[in-house]
Homo-oligomer: A and B are copies of this chain.
Amino acid sequence: MLNLKPHTGYDLKKYLDTEGRFMRGVHLSQMYRTLKSMVAEGWITYDVEERNGSPDMKRYRVTAEGKEAFLKWLKSPYEPSFRFMEGDFFDRFRFASMLDREEVIGLARQELAYRRGNIEKFRHRDRTLKGLEPTDIVDPDRIQLFFDLGHEYGASAMDHYVAWLERTIERLEEEAQTVQAQ
């Protein structure tokens, strides 16, 4: 975010709780510690604005080294995470404006291919729970029902994700062709 414009820690937290709430959550305590360590790394600096009585306000901005380190990460090989939505795909994708068109499309295609492989591998597995303790008061079919309903959501959320990836790739490909034609 500091690549786009300067922020205070409080600002960033607020953004992440409102407009940017699908990015990630963060606690203020963690925010301040992270900013501190990023200053120590040389990735960011800050200007101080004094406020009467209250602690001074620090407005952070990225340094040249910080931007370089960020780009190095952004352009580093992407490894899809085994588990749906756990890796850094969206962290990269949101800053895809700093990548070439081919790089973005490559990133999205890689993610799509991995998710499709995952679906192929797991979708048609038998998920019936075997050897359930018969001593239980609860009906095994009812146990299975809620496991199935929960899994159903997971699987359909994955499908929804794949559909979004497909739409997005198409859109980016069309755009790339339009630009090339000019």
Q: Which residues of A contact B (CB under 8 A)?
A: 4-5, 17-19, 21-23, 25, 82-86, 90, 93-98, 104, 122, 125, 127, 129, 131-133, 136, 138-139, 142-143, 145-147, 149-157, 160-161, 164, 168
A155 contacts which chain B residues (CB < 8 A)? 22
CB distance from A71 to the nearest CB of B (A): 11
A4 contacts which chain B residues (CB < 8 A)? 129, 132-133, 136, 143
**Can you list 7 contacts pairing A with B, beta carbon distance less than 8 Å?**
A4-B132, A4-B133, A22-B150, A25-B86, A93-B146, A93-B150, A97-B142
CB distance from A67 to the nearest CB of B (A): 10
- Roughly how many angstroms separate A97 CA and B136 CA in the complex, as a whole number? 11
B161 close to A157 (CB less than 8 A)? yes
B86 close to A5 (CB less than 8 A)? no
- Roughly how many angstroms separate A94 CA and B156 CA in the complex, as a whole number? 16
B150 close to A94 (CB less than 8 A)? yes
A96 close to B146 (CB less than 8 A)? yes
- Roughly how many angstroms separate A150 CA and B20 CA in the complex, as a whole number? 10
A125 and B168 contact, Cβ closer than 8 Å, known pairs A93-B149, A96-B146, A138-B98 = no
A132 close to B22 (CB less than 8 A)? no
- Roughly how many angstroms separate A98 CA and B94 CA in the complex, as a whole number? 41
A139 contacts which chain B residues (CB < 8 A)? 97
